[in-house]
């Protein structure tokens, strides 16, 4: 059945509800090029301004999935679990989490993305490992999962192609911030991935896409409903991104920190969140008698999976990670308690040092980034190192230092006002 694009736009412009048939038609027609860019741009703006109800969002998500293929893991003899993070600063959790969950009894087929702006991307991080490959066919993905128990790789062009096209248009038309469009974009890809269960890590705070708990909760609830409506066991955690996660921000720097966690060490916040998400994934996947994640970090079994996974994707887990040519240190200007370290500013500094990209096609530096020597709540002494900035090109330091001015507060006897690491759990 054919529709008229203008009729669909006007329905939503006037606050009406789009029918299933209208949504199916417009998403398919736009993907095929039968609806013009400016018409879809107008519809996206109408959705941003007037919203969509649960049925419309579910239909929009299904329509995007239908424009491509769905992956199938039914040949595997263990339940599958996946995790998606809405992104933040120092969020390297996928790196230790995928092998950890595999070591505890589930298979983890994880399709990940690249960084944009101040938020890092898992694939950029892993590509700092010599030889490691992000692009695998579905046959290769199955091979890696059977060998290692987990795979982390790039999504193929065949998954929800409508999403790629619509996302690019949202990016240039000021329509990124719509919760129905964010939720359907994330969930169309995750449902098409074919995983049996999904845990969502929805970040909250200055370094996250969602700055406050209320909007993060709305996004999480919308995504959990979409997963459940599609038959995927889905749960979400709202987690803190008002300060960076861990002590490393940047590609190779974060891989080194992830390896520390897999070796039974690493920063307490990274370990705590990794273990909590692993337990959620094992429960959502309904793994019978799973191994305890804390035990799998201690006994080396998670590290064994990591090494097999890296090797199976062409990487050398023993190769030294690349290091920056130049470093500069930011020292504490006073003695006292570090009460605030703004995640967004640290993320922008890492980006300006070369760790991130402004456009999808930009290259990234494997070695650029920021090391944190103190976290909010720590006592610091005047003159001690607070941050180390890493870059290949020393000309990049000036702009990174500019954004860090005013990004931290040291008070003689202050106490930090921080979000709890795990704020809330949202389930069906």
Which sequence positions are flagged as catalytic? 84, 163, 170, 185, 189
Within 244-317, residue ranges assigned H as helices are 251-262, 268-284, 293-298, 301-312
| HSE-CB of 339 using CA atoms within 13 angstroms | 13
Burial classification of residue 318, based on how many CB atoms lie within 10 Å of its CB (0-12 exposed, 13-18 middle, 19 or more buried): exposed
Contacts of residue 16, defined as CB under 8 A and 6 or more positions apart, other chains included, come to none
Q: How many CB atoms lie within 10 A of CB 194?
A: 18
Which tokens in the block code for residue 343?
Answer: 């995640």
| HSE-CB of 135 using CA atoms within 13 angstroms | 3
Q: Return d(Cα 81, Cα 102) in angstroms, integer.
A: 9
Q: Return d(Cα 289, Cα 191) in angstroms, integer.
A: 26
Q: Given strand 233-240, what is the order of strands in its sheet?
A: 81-85, 197-204, 233-240, 422-426
CB 35 within 8 A of CB 42: no
Which tokens in the block code for residue 354?
Answer: 């070369």
| Residue where the block lists tokens 């490691």 | 132
Q: Give the Å distances, CA to CA, from 261 to 130, 241, 293, 306, 394.
A: 20, 19, 12, 11, 30
Q: Return d(Cα 136, Cα 158) in angstroms, integer.
A: 13
Which tokens in the block code for residue 61?
Answer: 């998500």
């Amino acid at each position: 059945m054919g529709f008229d694009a203008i009729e669909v736009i006007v329905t939503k412009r006037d606050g009406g509800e789009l029918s299933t048939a209208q949504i199916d038609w417009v998403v398919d027609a736009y993907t095929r090029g039968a609806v013009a860019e400016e018409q879809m741009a107008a519809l996206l703006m109408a959705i941003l301004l007037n919203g969509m109800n649960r049925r419309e969002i579910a239909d929009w998500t299904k329509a995007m999935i239908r424009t491509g293929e769905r992956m199938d893991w039914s040949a595997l003899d263990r339940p599958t679990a996946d995790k998606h993070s809405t992104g933040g600063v120092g969020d390297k959790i996928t790196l230790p989490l995928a092998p950890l969950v595999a070591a505890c009894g589930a298979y983890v087929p994880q399709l990940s993305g690249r960084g944009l702006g101040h938020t890092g991307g898992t694939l950029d991080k892993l590509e700092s490992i010599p030889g490691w490959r992000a692009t695998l066919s579905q046959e290769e993905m199955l091979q890696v999962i059977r060998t290692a128990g987990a795979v982390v790789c790039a999504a193929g062009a065949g998954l929800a192609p409508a999403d790629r096209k619509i996302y690019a248009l949202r990016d240039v038309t000021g329509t990124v911030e719509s919760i129905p469009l964010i939720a359907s974009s994330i969930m169309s890809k995750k449902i098409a991935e074919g995983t049996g269960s999904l845990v969502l890590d929805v970040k909250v705070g200055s370094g996250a896409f969602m700055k406050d708990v209320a909007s993060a909760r709305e996004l999480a609830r919308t995504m959990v409903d979409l997963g459940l409506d599609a038959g995927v066991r889905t749960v979400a955690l709202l987690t803190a991104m008002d300060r960076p996660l861990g002590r490393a921000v940047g590609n190779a720097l974060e891989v080194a920190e992830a390896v520390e966690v897999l070796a039974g060490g690493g920063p307490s916040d990274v370990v705590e969140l990794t273990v909590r998400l692993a337990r959620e994934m094992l429960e959502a996947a309904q793994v019978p008698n799973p191994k305890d994640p804390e035990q799998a970090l201690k006994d080396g079994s998670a590290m064994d999976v990591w090494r097999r996974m890296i090797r199976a994707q062409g990487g050398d887990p023993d190769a030294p990670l690349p290091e920056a040519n130049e470093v500069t240190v930011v020292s504490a200007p006073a003695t006292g308690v570090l009460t605030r370290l703004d995640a967004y500013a640290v993320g922008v500094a890492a980006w300006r040092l070369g760790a991130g990209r402004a456009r999808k096609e930009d290259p990234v530096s494997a070695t650029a980034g920021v090391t944190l020597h103190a976290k909010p709540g720590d006592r610091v002494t005047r003159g001690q190192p607070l941050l180390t900035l890493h870059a290949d090109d020393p000309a990049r330091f000036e702009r990174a230092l500019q954004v860090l001015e005013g990004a931290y507060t040291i008070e003689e006897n202050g106490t930090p006002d921080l979000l709890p690491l795990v704020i809330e759990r949202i389930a069906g």
